[in-house]
Structure 1
């Protein structure tokens, strides 16, 4: 699977392939909340799927 996304500027736009990782924010969070809209596009080759597949993604936060 291949995913790509566009943002409104708070987070970084980018793309990734299955199993990969991507940086989506680099900086310091200066408020209690951060709000962003992400336009996500997913692409896969259905010929390689043998049954229904789940999709799971998550965000990791590193702190100093």
Structure 2
């Protein structure tokens, strides 16, 4: 049981950043070079502070790029 609880704490601190480039004839040229950020399932609390959520591009520990 303690192993599961420990994994929950560790897993809550792991954030993955994935970058995709999408090309489509349906996207207007005005959007060329535009970056869209989509954050999901972020739970701020005792194991994930607001400061860690604020800057995913800062290279903070816990933010990994794929």
Query: More helix per residue: 1 or 2?
Result: 2
Q: Same fold by TM-score, threshold 0.5 exceeded?
A: no
Greater radius of gyration (CA): 2
Query: More strand per residue: 1 or 2?
Result: 1
Q: Which has the higher contact order (CA 8 A, sep 6+)?
A: 2
User: TM-score band, normalised by the shorter chain?
Assistant: under 0.3
